[in-house]
């Protein structure tokens, strides 16, 4: 199981958890009262469950030549979306950043 903190404008908003390649969840922190990280993921006390890598985060990942460079330089499997997300976690376009939580 891997976890990442999801920040919006530098404020930690939620935690994304990867249980395995086909099971993910996103939960906003109880203390967070800011904007949602996505319109499709309103800030609430709900736990969002996904049976594939969440589309919002998939949309943040590089494509084409940038993806190939990332995979080769970081030795990441093409299907390991969580590792890709972690590898570029503070270099997204926009206000979102992620950081791996190591326990």
* C-alpha span between 26 and 90 (Å, rounded): 18
- Distance (Å, whole) CA 33 – CA 17: 20
Give yes or no for a contact between 27 and 33, defined as CB atoms under 8 angstroms apart. no
The per-residue pLDDT for range 30-81, each reduced to its tens digit, is 999 999 999 999 998 889 999 999 999 999 899 999 999 999 999 999 999 9
Q: 74: alpha, beta or left, given left = phi > 0 and alpha = psi -120 to 50?
A: alpha
Give the pLDDT confidence of 79-102 residue by residue, as tens digits: 999 999 999 988 777 799 999 998
In this prediction, residue 3 carries a pLDDT of 97
pLDDT of residue 2: 95
Find, among 54, 46, 44, the residue nearest to 24 by Cα: 54
């Amino acid at each position: 199981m891997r976890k990442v903190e999801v920040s919006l404008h530098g404020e930690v908003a939620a935690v994304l958890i990867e249980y395995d390649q086909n099971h993910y969840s996103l939960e906003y922190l109880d203390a967070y009262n800011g904007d949602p990280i996505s319109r499709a993921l309103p800030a609430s006390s709900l736990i969002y469950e996904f049976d594939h890598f969440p589309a919002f985060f998939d949309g943040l990942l590089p494509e084409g030549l940038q993806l190939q460079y990332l995979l080769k330089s970081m030795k990441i499997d093409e299907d390991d979306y969580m590792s890709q997300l972690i590898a570029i976690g503070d270099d997204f376009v926009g206000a979102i950043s992620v950081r791996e939580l190591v326990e």
